[in-house]
Protein backbone atom coordinates (compact mmCIF):
# COMPACT_ATOMS: atom_id res chain seq x y z
CA UNK A 1 0.00 0.00 0.00
CA UNK A 2 1.44 3.36 -0.95
CA UNK A 3 1.44 6.33 1.34
CA UNK A 4 -0.66 8.35 -1.05
CA UNK A 5 -3.63 6.03 -0.85
CA UNK A 6 -3.75 6.08 2.94
CA UNK A 7 -5.83 9.21 3.54
CA UNK A 8 -8.41 7.99 1.06
CA UNK A 9 -8.43 4.46 2.38
CA UNK A 10 -8.77 5.38 6.00
CA UNK A 11 -12.22 6.97 6.10
CA UNK A 12 -13.53 4.32 3.78
CA UNK A 13 -12.07 1.65 6.04
CA UNK A 14 -13.60 3.26 9.06
CA UNK A 15 -16.99 3.43 7.45
CA UNK A 16 -16.72 -0.18 6.47
CA UNK A 17 -15.72 -1.02 10.01
CA UNK A 18 -18.74 0.82 11.34
CA UNK A 19 -21.03 -1.00 8.93
CA UNK A 20 -19.34 -4.28 9.78
CA UNK A 21 -19.82 -3.79 13.51
CA UNK A 22 -23.46 -2.89 13.00
CA UNK A 23 -24.35 -5.51 10.44
CA UNK A 24 -24.06 -8.39 12.88
CA UNK A 25 -26.73 -7.09 15.26
CA UNK A 26 -28.95 -5.95 12.37
CA UNK A 27 -28.77 -9.38 10.75
CA UNK A 28 -29.40 -10.93 14.16
CA UNK A 29 -32.62 -8.90 14.40
CA UNK A 30 -33.69 -10.00 10.93
CA UNK A 31 -33.02 -13.66 11.72
CA UNK A 32 -34.84 -13.32 15.04
CA UNK A 33 -37.88 -11.86 13.30
CA UNK A 34 -37.90 -14.75 10.82
CA UNK A 35 -37.54 -17.47 13.47
CA UNK A 36 -40.01 -15.71 15.75
CA UNK A 37 -42.43 -15.58 12.83
CA UNK A 38 -42.13 -19.33 12.42
CA UNK A 39 -42.98 -19.76 16.11
CA UNK A 40 -46.10 -17.64 15.66
CA UNK A 41 -47.03 -19.54 12.51
CA UNK A 42 -46.60 -22.92 14.17
CA UNK A 43 -48.73 -21.83 17.11
CA UNK A 44 -51.52 -21.11 14.67
CA UNK A 45 -51.47 -17.33 14.28
CA UNK A 46 -50.50 -14.96 11.51
CA UNK A 47 -46.97 -13.60 11.99
CA UNK A 48 -47.56 -10.64 9.65
CA UNK A 49 -50.46 -9.47 11.80
CA UNK A 50 -48.39 -10.00 14.93
CA UNK A 51 -45.47 -7.90 13.73
CA UNK A 52 -47.73 -5.28 12.24
CA UNK A 53 -49.56 -4.86 15.55
CA UNK A 54 -46.29 -4.78 17.42
CA UNK A 55 -44.84 -2.11 15.17
CA UNK A 56 -47.96 0.03 15.32
CA UNK A 57 -48.11 -0.46 19.07
CA UNK A 58 -44.51 0.64 19.50
CA UNK A 59 -44.21 3.63 17.17
CA UNK A 60 -47.63 4.07 15.61
CA UNK A 61 -48.39 7.36 17.35
CA UNK A 62 -46.47 10.11 19.13
CA UNK A 63 -47.89 8.85 22.41
CA UNK A 64 -46.62 5.33 21.74
CA UNK A 65 -43.19 6.63 20.81
CA UNK A 66 -43.09 8.45 24.11
CA UNK A 67 -44.09 5.24 25.92
CA UNK A 68 -41.47 3.27 24.01
CA UNK A 69 -38.84 5.66 25.33
CA UNK A 70 -40.20 5.17 28.83
CA UNK A 71 -39.82 1.40 28.49
CA UNK A 72 -36.32 1.82 27.11
CA UNK A 73 -34.72 4.26 29.52
CA UNK A 74 -34.32 1.97 32.56
CA UNK A 75 -33.03 -0.78 30.28
CA UNK A 76 -30.44 1.52 28.74
CA UNK A 77 -29.23 2.85 32.09
CA UNK A 78 -29.06 -0.61 33.64
CA UNK A 79 -27.24 -1.88 30.56
CA UNK A 80 -24.61 0.82 31.11
CA UNK A 81 -24.20 -0.67 34.58
CA UNK A 82 -23.70 -4.16 33.18
CA UNK A 83 -21.43 -2.97 30.43
CA UNK A 84 -19.20 -0.71 32.50
CA UNK A 85 -18.36 -3.66 34.73
CA UNK A 86 -17.85 -5.85 31.65
CA UNK A 87 -15.21 -3.41 30.46
CA UNK A 88 -13.29 -4.14 33.66
CA UNK A 89 -13.70 -7.87 33.17
CA UNK A 90 -16.51 -8.15 35.74
CA UNK A 91 -19.86 -9.79 35.10
CA UNK A 92 -22.33 -7.61 36.95
CA UNK A 93 -25.34 -9.91 36.97
CA UNK A 94 -26.90 -7.98 39.87
CA UNK A 95 -27.88 -4.65 38.32
CA UNK A 96 -31.40 -5.56 39.43
CA UNK A 97 -30.49 -5.21 43.11
CA UNK A 98 -28.47 -2.08 42.52
CA UNK A 99 -31.40 -0.43 40.83
CA UNK A 100 -33.67 -1.43 43.71
CA UNK A 101 -31.27 0.29 46.11
CA UNK A 102 -31.28 3.39 43.90
CA UNK A 103 -35.06 3.40 43.86
CA UNK A 104 -35.28 2.97 47.62
CA UNK A 105 -32.75 5.69 48.44
CA UNK A 106 -34.21 8.29 46.09
CA UNK A 107 -37.78 7.51 47.14
CA UNK A 108 -36.88 7.69 50.79
CA UNK A 109 -35.27 11.08 50.33
CA UNK A 110 -38.13 12.49 48.30
CA UNK A 111 -40.86 11.24 50.62
CA UNK A 112 -39.01 12.22 53.80
CA UNK A 113 -38.41 15.83 52.74
CA UNK A 114 -41.48 16.57 50.63
CA UNK A 115 -41.30 20.30 51.24
CA UNK A 116 -37.87 20.98 49.86
CA UNK A 117 -37.65 23.02 46.68
CA UNK A 118 -38.04 20.84 43.60
CA UNK A 119 -34.74 21.51 41.91
CA UNK A 120 -32.76 20.80 45.09
CA UNK A 121 -34.75 17.69 45.86
CA UNK A 122 -34.48 16.13 42.43
CA UNK A 123 -30.74 16.71 42.21
CA UNK A 124 -30.25 15.23 45.67
CA UNK A 125 -32.46 12.28 44.71
CA UNK A 126 -30.36 11.62 41.62
CA UNK A 127 -27.22 11.76 43.75
CA UNK A 128 -28.78 9.49 46.39
CA UNK A 129 -29.83 6.93 43.76
CA UNK A 130 -26.34 6.88 42.30
CA UNK A 131 -24.66 6.60 45.69
CA UNK A 132 -26.97 3.81 46.84
CA UNK A 133 -26.58 1.81 43.64
CA UNK A 134 -22.86 2.46 43.59
CA UNK A 135 -22.39 1.42 47.20
CA UNK A 136 -24.39 -1.77 46.70
CA UNK A 137 -22.30 -2.75 43.68
CA UNK A 138 -19.18 -1.54 45.45
CA UNK A 139 -19.62 -4.22 48.10
CA UNK A 140 -19.26 -6.86 45.41
CA UNK A 141 -16.27 -5.06 43.90
CA UNK A 142 -14.60 -4.72 47.26
CA UNK A 143 -15.16 -8.38 48.12
CA UNK A 144 -13.76 -9.39 44.75
CA UNK A 145 -10.67 -7.25 45.29
CA UNK A 146 -10.14 -8.30 48.91
CA UNK A 147 -11.05 -11.97 48.96
CA UNK A 148 -11.58 -12.99 45.37
CA UNK A 149 -15.25 -13.74 46.00
CA UNK A 150 -16.77 -14.34 42.57
CA UNK A 151 -18.79 -11.30 41.51
CA UNK A 152 -21.41 -13.43 39.75
CA UNK A 153 -22.43 -14.86 43.10
CA UNK A 154 -22.01 -11.75 45.21
CA UNK A 155 -23.87 -9.39 42.88
CA UNK A 156 -26.68 -11.90 42.46
CA UNK A 157 -26.96 -12.62 46.17
CA UNK A 158 -26.89 -8.89 46.94
CA UNK A 159 -29.69 -8.49 44.39
CA UNK A 160 -31.92 -10.86 46.27
CA UNK A 161 -31.03 -9.11 49.52
CA UNK A 162 -31.90 -5.70 48.06
CA UNK A 163 -35.21 -6.96 46.72
CA UNK A 164 -36.04 -8.55 50.08
CA UNK A 165 -35.18 -5.29 51.82
CA UNK A 166 -37.58 -3.46 49.51
CA UNK A 167 -40.29 -6.04 50.26
CA UNK A 168 -39.75 -5.50 53.96
CA UNK A 169 -39.77 -1.70 53.67
CA UNK A 170 -42.97 -1.71 51.64
CA UNK A 171 -44.84 -4.70 53.03
CA UNK A 172 -43.93 -4.53 56.71
CA UNK A 173 -44.40 -0.83 56.97
CA UNK A 174 -41.34 1.39 57.33
CA UNK A 175 -41.83 3.09 53.97
CA UNK A 176 -45.55 2.55 53.56
CA UNK A 177 -47.94 5.23 54.77
CA UNK A 178 -51.29 3.76 55.72
CA UNK A 179 -53.50 3.87 52.65
CA UNK A 180 -57.06 2.99 51.91
CA UNK A 181 -56.34 -0.32 50.21
CA UNK A 182 -53.42 -1.45 52.31
CA UNK A 183 -51.31 -1.89 49.19
CA UNK A 184 -47.55 -2.04 49.64
CA UNK A 185 -46.37 1.21 48.11
CA UNK A 186 -44.47 4.29 49.19
CA UNK A 187 -45.98 7.70 49.65
CA UNK A 188 -46.13 9.92 46.56
CA UNK A 189 -43.04 11.60 45.14
CA UNK A 190 -43.62 15.33 45.74
CA UNK A 191 -44.76 16.87 42.42
CA UNK A 192 -42.25 19.71 42.48
CA UNK A 193 -39.46 17.10 42.39
CA UNK A 194 -40.76 15.45 39.21
CA UNK A 195 -38.72 15.39 36.03
CA UNK A 196 -40.21 17.97 33.66
CA UNK A 197 -42.34 16.38 30.94
CA UNK A 198 -40.65 16.92 27.58
CA UNK A 199 -43.72 17.50 25.46
CA UNK A 200 -46.25 19.90 26.97
CA UNK A 201 -49.80 18.60 27.13
CA UNK A 202 -51.11 21.00 24.49
CA UNK A 203 -48.84 19.25 22.00
CA UNK A 204 -49.29 15.71 23.18
CA UNK A 205 -51.84 15.10 25.95
CA UNK A 206 -50.92 12.58 28.65
CA UNK A 207 -47.39 12.04 27.35
CA UNK A 208 -45.24 10.80 30.19
CA UNK A 209 -41.78 11.02 28.64
CA UNK A 210 -39.75 13.26 30.91
CA UNK A 211 -36.33 14.82 31.14
CA UNK A 212 -34.84 11.53 32.31
CA UNK A 213 -34.28 10.98 28.57
CA UNK A 214 -31.66 13.73 28.64
CA UNK A 215 -30.20 12.23 31.79
CA UNK A 216 -29.89 8.93 29.92
CA UNK A 217 -28.15 10.56 26.96
CA UNK A 218 -25.84 12.33 29.39
CA UNK A 219 -25.16 9.01 31.11
CA UNK A 220 -24.16 7.52 27.77
CA UNK A 221 -21.78 10.41 27.11
CA UNK A 222 -20.27 10.04 30.58
CA UNK A 223 -19.98 6.27 30.09
CA UNK A 224 -18.01 6.70 26.87
CA UNK A 225 -16.03 9.66 28.17
CA UNK A 226 -14.79 7.84 31.28
CA UNK A 227 -13.87 4.72 29.35
CA UNK A 228 -12.18 6.28 26.34
CA UNK A 229 -11.05 9.74 27.40
CA UNK A 230 -9.73 9.41 30.94
CA UNK A 231 -6.71 7.65 32.48
CA UNK A 232 -9.14 5.88 34.82
CA UNK A 233 -11.05 4.46 31.88
CA UNK A 234 -7.85 3.34 30.24
CA UNK A 235 -6.83 1.52 33.40
CA UNK A 236 -10.25 -0.05 33.82
CA UNK A 237 -10.13 -1.35 30.26
CA UNK A 238 -6.57 -2.55 30.79
CA UNK A 239 -7.67 -4.55 33.83
CA UNK A 240 -10.57 -5.96 31.85
CA UNK A 241 -8.30 -6.89 28.98
CA UNK A 242 -5.64 -8.59 31.04
CA UNK A 243 -5.42 -8.06 34.80
CA UNK A 244 -1.95 -9.60 35.10
CA UNK A 245 -0.50 -7.35 32.43
CA UNK A 246 -2.27 -4.36 33.98
CA UNK A 247 -0.77 -5.13 37.37
CA UNK A 248 2.65 -5.53 35.75
CA UNK A 249 2.17 -2.14 34.15
CA UNK A 250 1.74 -0.59 37.58
CA UNK A 251 -2.04 -0.39 37.75
CA UNK A 252 -3.62 -1.02 41.14
CA UNK A 253 -5.97 -3.75 39.94
CA UNK A 254 -7.87 -4.16 43.20
CA UNK A 255 -8.70 -0.49 43.38
CA UNK A 256 -9.81 -0.37 39.74
CA UNK A 257 -12.14 -3.32 40.31
CA UNK A 258 -13.85 -1.48 43.15
CA UNK A 259 -14.08 1.81 41.27
CA UNK A 260 -15.49 0.09 38.17
CA UNK A 261 -18.19 -1.61 40.22
CA UNK A 262 -19.09 1.61 42.04
CA UNK A 263 -19.47 3.52 38.78
CA UNK A 264 -21.44 0.64 37.28
CA UNK A 265 -23.73 0.58 40.31
CA UNK A 266 -24.29 4.33 40.02
CA UNK A 267 -25.73 3.82 36.52
CA UNK A 268 -27.96 1.08 37.90
CA UNK A 269 -29.09 3.32 40.76
CA UNK A 270 -30.27 5.87 38.20
CA UNK A 271 -32.03 3.11 36.30
CA UNK A 272 -33.97 2.35 39.46
CA UNK A 273 -34.96 5.92 40.16
CA UNK A 274 -36.35 6.70 36.70
CA UNK A 275 -39.34 4.30 36.66
CA UNK A 276 -40.30 5.43 40.15
CA UNK A 277 -40.30 8.99 38.88
CA UNK A 278 -42.64 7.95 36.05
CA UNK A 279 -45.16 6.29 38.37
CA UNK A 280 -44.44 8.90 41.07
CA UNK A 281 -44.49 6.17 43.71
CA UNK A 282 -42.33 3.21 44.62
CA UNK A 283 -44.45 0.11 44.22
CA UNK A 284 -43.60 -3.31 45.62
CA UNK A 285 -41.74 -5.36 42.97
CA UNK A 286 -41.68 -2.30 40.71
CA UNK A 287 -39.07 -3.70 38.33
CA UNK A 288 -40.15 -6.23 35.72
CA UNK A 289 -36.55 -7.45 35.63
CA UNK A 290 -34.84 -4.42 34.06
CA UNK A 291 -31.55 -5.52 35.56
CA UNK A 292 -31.69 -8.92 33.89
CA UNK A 293 -32.92 -7.75 30.51
CA UNK A 294 -30.17 -5.14 30.68
CA UNK A 295 -27.62 -7.93 30.39
CA UNK A 296 -29.10 -8.80 27.02
CA UNK A 297 -29.21 -5.13 26.00
CA UNK A 298 -25.55 -4.69 26.96
CA UNK A 299 -24.55 -7.75 24.96
CA UNK A 300 -26.58 -6.82 21.88
CA UNK A 301 -25.23 -3.26 22.14
CA UNK A 302 -21.74 -4.68 22.22
CA UNK A 303 -20.77 -2.71 25.31
CA UNK A 304 -20.65 0.62 23.50
CA UNK A 305 -22.61 3.70 24.56
CA UNK A 306 -24.36 4.16 21.22
CA UNK A 307 -24.88 0.45 20.67
CA UNK A 308 -26.53 0.10 24.06
CA UNK A 309 -28.73 3.12 23.46
CA UNK A 310 -29.98 1.65 20.17
CA UNK A 311 -30.35 -1.86 21.55
CA UNK A 312 -32.26 -0.46 24.53
CA UNK A 313 -34.63 1.42 22.21
CA UNK A 314 -35.19 -1.77 20.21
CA UNK A 315 -35.95 -3.81 23.32
CA UNK A 316 -38.11 -1.04 24.76
CA UNK A 317 -40.05 -0.78 21.49
CA UNK A 318 -40.67 -4.52 21.48
CA UNK A 319 -41.85 -4.42 25.09
CA UNK A 320 -44.26 -1.54 24.54
CA UNK A 321 -45.36 -2.84 21.14
CA UNK A 322 -46.23 -6.21 22.60
CA UNK A 323 -49.02 -4.70 24.68
CA UNK A 324 -50.98 -3.69 21.58
CA UNK A 325 -50.09 -6.96 19.86
CA UNK A 326 -51.48 -9.08 22.67
CA UNK A 327 -54.65 -7.00 22.86
CA UNK A 328 -55.34 -6.73 19.11
CA UNK A 329 -53.90 -9.92 17.65
CA UNK A 330 -54.56 -12.17 20.66
CA UNK A 331 -50.99 -13.41 20.64
CA UNK A 332 -49.11 -13.63 23.90
CA UNK A 333 -46.94 -10.60 24.55
CA UNK A 334 -44.27 -13.05 25.58
CA UNK A 335 -43.44 -13.33 21.90
CA UNK A 336 -41.22 -10.36 22.76
CA UNK A 337 -39.10 -12.43 25.12
CA UNK A 338 -38.71 -15.02 22.40
CA UNK A 339 -37.60 -12.34 19.95
CA UNK A 340 -35.23 -10.78 22.49
CA UNK A 341 -33.73 -14.18 23.18
CA UNK A 342 -33.29 -14.90 19.49
CA UNK A 343 -31.62 -11.54 18.87
CA UNK A 344 -29.25 -12.25 21.73
CA UNK A 345 -28.63 -15.77 20.49
CA UNK A 346 -27.81 -14.67 16.97
CA UNK A 347 -25.60 -11.86 18.24
CA UNK A 348 -23.73 -14.46 20.25
CA UNK A 349 -23.52 -16.90 17.39
CA UNK A 350 -21.24 -14.61 15.42
CA UNK A 351 -19.81 -17.53 13.52
CA UNK A 352 -23.23 -18.34 12.12
CA UNK A 353 -23.71 -14.73 11.02
CA UNK A 354 -20.29 -14.64 9.37
CA UNK A 355 -21.01 -17.83 7.56
CA UNK A 356 -24.31 -16.41 6.31
CA UNK A 357 -22.62 -13.22 5.16
CA UNK A 358 -19.97 -15.19 3.35
CA UNK A 359 -22.59 -17.28 1.60
CA UNK A 360 -24.33 -14.07 0.64
CA UNK A 361 -21.14 -12.83 -1.03
CA UNK A 362 -20.56 -10.13 1.54
CA UNK A 363 -17.06 -11.28 2.35
CA UNK A 364 -15.74 -7.73 2.40
CA UNK A 365 -17.93 -6.92 5.38
CA UNK A 366 -16.86 -9.98 7.26
CA UNK A 367 -13.17 -9.42 6.90
CA UNK A 368 -13.18 -5.73 7.73
CA UNK A 369 -9.77 -4.33 8.62
CA UNK A 370 -9.15 -4.30 12.33
Partner 1 sequence: MDAIGTLVSIFARPDLWAGTLRFAAPLTLAALGGVISERSGVVNIAMEGMMLVGAFFSVLVAAATHDIVLATLSSVLCGGLIAAVHGVASIHLRANQIVSGMAINLLALGLTSFLMFRFFATTGTPSDIPALPDVKIPVIYDIPFVGAVIGDQNLVVWLSILAVPLAWWFLFRTRLGLRIRAVGEHPRAADTLGISVYRIRYLCVILSGLLSGLGGAYLSLSVAHSFSDNMTSGAGFIALAAMIFGKWNPIGAFLACLLFGFGQSLGINLQGTGFPDQLVAATPYVLTVVALAGFVGRAVAPAADGVPYEVGE
Rank residues 160 and 214 by Cβ distance to partner 1 and give the closer one. Answer: 160
Stretch that binds partner 1, among 110-118, 144-152, 209-217, 245-253 (CB under 8 A): 144-152
Q: Is 356 in the site for partner 1 (CB under 8 A)?
A: no
Kindly indicate which of the ranges 10-18, 201-209, 272-280, 293-301 contains the residues binding partner 1, using the contact rule CB under 8 A.
293-301
Q: Write down the least CB distance from residue 341 to partner 1, Å.
A: 4
| 182 touches partner 1 (CB under 8 A) | no
- Binding segment (CB under 8 A) for partner 1, from list 15-23, 226-234, 342-350, 357-365: 342-350
Q: Using CA atoms, how far apart are residues 120 and 93, in angstroms rounded to an integer?
A: 33
* CA 79 to chain centroid: 3
Distance CA 243, CA 208 (A): 44
Report if residue 153 touches partner 1, rule: CB under 8 A: yes
Give φ, ψ of 190 to 5 degrees.
-55, 135
Q: Is 90 in the site for partner 1 (CB under 8 A)?
A: no
Contact call for residues 278 and 210 (beta carbons, < 8 A): yes
Binder of partner 1 out of 76, 274, 295, 305 (CB under 8 A): 295
Tell me which of 150, 229, 358, 363 binds partner 1, using CB under 8 A: 150
Q: Does 366 bind partner 1 (CB under 8 A)?
A: no
**C-alpha–C-alpha distance, residues 327 and 189, integer Å:** 31
Q: Which of 77, 270, 296, 323 binds partner 1 (CB under 8 A)?
A: 296
Residue ranges in 187-246 that form contacts with partner 1 under rule CB under 8 A:
none
Interacting residue ranges for partner 1, rule: CB under 8 A: 39, 43-44, 91, 93, 139, 143, 146-150, 152-154, 156-158, 160-161, 164-165, 167-168, 171-172, 293, 295-296, 299, 331-332, 334-342, 344-345, 347-352
Amino acid sequence: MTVATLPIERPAGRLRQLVASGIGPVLAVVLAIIVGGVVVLVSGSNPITAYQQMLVGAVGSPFDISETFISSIPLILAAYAVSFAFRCGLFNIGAEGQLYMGAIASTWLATTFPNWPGIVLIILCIVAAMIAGGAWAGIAGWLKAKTGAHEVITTMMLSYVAIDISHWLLEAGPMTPSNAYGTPESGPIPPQAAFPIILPSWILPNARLNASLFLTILAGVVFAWILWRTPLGYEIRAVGFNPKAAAYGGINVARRLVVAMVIAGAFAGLAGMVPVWVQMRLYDSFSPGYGYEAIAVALVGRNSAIGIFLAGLLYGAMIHGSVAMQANANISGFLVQILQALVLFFVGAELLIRWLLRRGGLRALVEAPA
